[in-house]
Chain A
Amino acid sequence: MEAHQDLLANIKRRQMWDFVFALMGLLALLFALVTLLALIVDLAITGVPRINAEFFVNFPSRFAEKAGILSAWVGSFCIMITTAFCAIPLGVAAGVYLEEYSKKNWISQLIELNIINLAGIPSITYGLMALGLFVYKLKLGQSILTAGLTLGLLVLPIIIVTTREAIRAIPNTIREASYAMGASKWQTVRYHILPYSSGGILTGVIISLSRAIGETAPLITIGALTFIAFLPTPPVDGQFPYLNFKWLMDPFTVMPIQMFNWLSRPQPEFHVNAAATGVVLLLMTLIMNGGAIYLRSRFRKKMKW
C-alpha cells in the first residue's frame, strides 16, 4: 500500500513537470503568434481601406490620395521574372552537379559549407557587390537587369540547397535501377532525378522568390529610384520581331522601396499608402508560400518509392 502511494506521488510529480513544460511551450508560441498577428492586424486596419482598383493602376504622386503602386508592382514583377530566369537554371544545375556528378571529398564539403554561408550573408552585401560588379564594371546601370541579377545571386544559395535536398530524397535504389539498365548519367538525371525532384525544386524556387520580392536593402544599394512615374518599355511592339528586351535596361522601383519612400514622408496620408502596399506585399508572399506548400504536398502524394 505504502509502495503504491509512493508510485502515485512519483507519477504526479512527473506529470506536473510535463504540464509546466507544455505551458511554457504554449506561451512561447502564443507570444510569437500574437506579436505577428498584432502587426498584421494593425497593418490591415490601416491599409485595407486604402486598397482599391485605382491604387494598382496609379503612379506615385505628390497627392497621397491619388498615389498608387503601378510602377512598384510592375517593377517587382519584372525583377522577379529576371531573377527567376537567372537563378533557376544556375541553381538547379549547380545542385544537380553537386549531388549527382561531383566527387564527394573535402572540396565538395568546403563548397557545401560556403553555399550554406552564402545563404546567411546580409543582403546588403550582395547590393554592394552588385554595385561594384554590375553597375560600375559591367555598366549595366541601375536597371531591372542589374536588380534581377542581384536578387538572383541572393537567392541562388537557397535554390541550390533546396535542389540538393529534393534530390537527396530520391532513394539510391532508383539510381541503381537506372544505371543497371545501361543508362548514362545524363539520362538518369533527365528521366529520373529531375522529374522526381521537381516538386521539391519548385517549392524551393517559390520560397526563394517570395524572399526576393521583399528585399529592399540590396536594391537601394545599387541605386533604385524611389519615385518613378513611368513604366518600363513594353516588351511587345508593332515592329518586327515584335519582341524586345529594352525593358531590362530601364530604371525601376519595387514595392518595398515604394513603401519605404512613403513611410519616410511626414504626412500621415502617405503612411496609409505604405500600409496598403504592405498588405499587398504580405498577400503576395502568403499566396506564393501557400502555393509552395500545396505543390509540395501534391508531389509527395504522387511520389511513392
Chain B
Amino acid sequence: MQQLNLRAEVKNLIFSYGDKKVLNGITLPIYENRVTALIGPSGCGKTTLLRCFNRMHDLYANAQYHGEILLYPDQRNILGKEIDPMEVRMRIGMVFQKPNPFPKSIYDNVAYGLTVRGVKKKSFIEEQVEKSLQQASLWNEVKDRLHSSATALSGGQQQRLCIARALATEPEILLLDEPTSALDPISTRHIEELIQELRKDVTIAIVTHSLHQAARVSDFTAFMYLGDLIEFGASDQIFTNPKDQRTENYITGRFG
C-alpha cells in the first residue's frame, strides 16, 4: 500500500443546533486519495458531520461549531470564525442525497462553479466541462445535447451530472451524502464504479446507509452512533473484525 497522507483532520468536533448537541466530539482523519465512508444508524450524525466539511450548516440559524477541521497541507481550521464559508466551499465539493441539478442546461450546470469564480475564458470552461463530464462517465451520453435541460435526464444521470458539477472546479475533497439512495441498482453500480475511479484524483468522504456499498467502495470506515465516533479503521478490518461490540452489532444487522 502506498504511503498515507492526511488530507484533513477532524479534531474534537462538537456541533450543536441551538441547544441540541448533534456531534459530541468527533476526531477523525481523512486520508488523501482514499475513500472514507461514514456509516451508522439514522440520526447518528454522519450527514451532519459531512456537512460540517463545507460549512453547509452556516446557511441555517443556530448552528454552532466547536473544535477543528484542519485542511492539509496548510492545516487551516475550516471551522474558524475568520474563514469565509465561501472559501471552504470552493475547496471542498459536495454531492447531495437527492440529485439537485439546476433547471438549466447540462453545460451551464457543470460550468456553474467556474461561472461563480468569475472564469471568463470560454475555451477553458469548455475543456473543464468536457473533462468533468468524462470523469463522471456521463460525457458519451450527453455530448450531443449539452445545451438541453438537465432536468430531462434520468435520476442516475442527474446524480452523475451533480458529480461532474462538483468536479469541474477540481475540489480538494469531494463529499458524497448518500449519493445513491435515490437511485436504482444499475445507476448505483455506475456511481460506485465512478467512486473507485475518482479516488485517483480526489479525496472522497461518503455517507452511506448501505453497508455493502461502504465495504465495496471505501478504504476507511468510520462507524458513528448517537453523535459519537465509535470506531474508525480500514474498511477490511471494520467489516471483518470490528473491535467494538456496537460496531459488530450494527454491521451484523442487530440494530440500526
Interface residues of A (CB under 8 A from B): 103-105, 171, 173-184, 187, 191-192, 196, 302-305
Q: Which residues of B have CB within 8 Å of A174?
A: 100, 102
Kindly state whether residue B54 has any CB partner on chain A within 8 Å: yes
Q: Which residues of B have CB within 8 Å of A171?
A: 100
Residue from the list A104, A179, A192 in contact with B89, Cβ < 8 A: A179
In the bound complex, do residue B89 and residue A176 qualify as a contact, i.e. CB atoms below 8 Å apart? no
User: In this complex, what residue of A is CB-closest to B112?
Assistant: A181
- Give the interface segment out of B1-9, B65-73, B113-121, B232-240: B113-121
Residue from the list B59, B85, B103, B169 in contact with A181, Cβ < 8 A: B169
User: Given A179-B85, A183-B86, 19 other A-B contacts at CB below 8 A?
Assistant: A173-B96, A173-B100, A176-B56, A177-B96, A177-B100, A177-B102, A177-B165, A179-B89, A180-B56, A181-B165, A182-B89, A182-B113, A182-B169, A184-B116, A187-B116, A192-B102, A196-B103, A303-B103, A304-B103
Interface residues of B (CB under 8 A from A): 54, 56, 59, 61, 85-87, 89-90, 93-94, 96, 98, 100-103, 112-113, 115-117, 151, 162, 165-166, 169
Main secondary structure on B side of the interface with A? helix
Within the complex, what minimum Cβ distance (angstroms) separates A181 from chain B?
4
Q: What are some 29 contacts across the A-B interface (CB < 8 A)?
A: A103-B61, A104-B61, A105-B61, A171-B100, A173-B96, A173-B98, A173-B100, A175-B59, A176-B56, A176-B59, A176-B96, A176-B100, A177-B96, A177-B101, A177-B102, A177-B165, A178-B102, A178-B116, A180-B56, A180-B93, A181-B112, A182-B89, A182-B90, A182-B117, A182-B169, A183-B86, A187-B116, A191-B102, A305-B151
Q: Which residues of B have CB within 8 Å of A187?
A: 116
Main secondary structure on A side of the interface with B? helix
In the bound complex, do residue A177 and residue B151 qualify as a contact, i.e. CB atoms below 8 Å apart? no
* A-B residue pair count with CB separations less than 8 angstroms: 69
Within the complex, what minimum Cβ distance (angstroms) separates B160 from chain A?
15
User: In this complex, what residue of A is CB-closest to B90?
Assistant: A182
In the bound complex, do residue A183 and residue B100 qualify as a contact, i.e. CB atoms below 8 Å apart? no
Q: Which residues of A have CB within 8 Å of B98?
A: 173
In the bound complex, do residue B116 and residue A177 qualify as a contact, i.e. CB atoms below 8 Å apart? no
Q: Which residues of B have CB within 8 Å of A173?
A: 96, 98, 100
Q: Which residues of A have CB within 8 Å of B166?
A: 180-181
Q: How far is the CA of A175 from the CA of B98 in the complex (A)?
A: 13
Q: Which residues of A have CB within 8 Å of B93?
A: 180-181
Within the complex, what minimum Cβ distance (angstroms) separates B52 from chain A?
13
The residue in A177, A182, A191 that gathers the most chain B C-beta atoms within 10 A of its C-beta is A182
Q: Which residues of A have CB within 8 Å of B96?
A: 173, 176-177, 180
Residue from the list B56, B102, B151, B162 in contact with A179, Cβ < 8 A: B56
Q: How far is the CA of A192 from the CA of B96 in the complex (A)?
A: 18
Within the complex, what minimum Cβ distance (angstroms) separates B133 from chain A?
16
Q: Which residues of B have CB within 8 Å of A104?
A: 61
The residue in A171, A177, A180 that gathers the most chain B C-beta atoms within 10 A of its C-beta is A180
Q: How far is the CA of A182 from the CA of B117 in the complex (A)?
A: 8
Within the complex, what minimum Cβ distance (angstroms) separates A302 from chain B?
8
In the bound complex, do residue A180 and residue B94 qualify as a contact, i.e. CB atoms below 8 Å apart? yes
Q: Which residues of A have CB within 8 Å of B89?
A: 179-182
Q: How far is the CA of A209 from the CA of B207 in the complex (A)?
A: 50
Q: How far is the CA of A187 from the CA of B117 in the complex (A)?
A: 10
Q: How far is the CA of A104 from the CA of B62 in the complex (A)?
A: 11
Q: How far is the CA of A209 from the CA of B217 in the complex (A)?
A: 58
Q: Which residues of A have CB within 8 Å of B100?
A: 171, 173-174, 176-177, 305
User: In this complex, what residue of B is CB-closest to A302?
Assistant: B103
Within the complex, what minimum Cβ distance (angstroms) separates B225 from chain A?
26
Decide yes or no: A180 and B115 within 8 Å by CB, A104-B61, A192-B102 being known contacts. Answer: no
| 7 A-B pairs closest in CB distance | A182-B90, A173-B100, A180-B94, A183-B116, A182-B89, A304-B151, A177-B100
User: In this complex, what residue of A is CB-closest to B150?
Assistant: A304
User: In this complex, what residue of B is CB-closest to A183?
Assistant: B116
Q: How far is the CA of A171 from the CA of B101 in the complex (A)?
A: 12
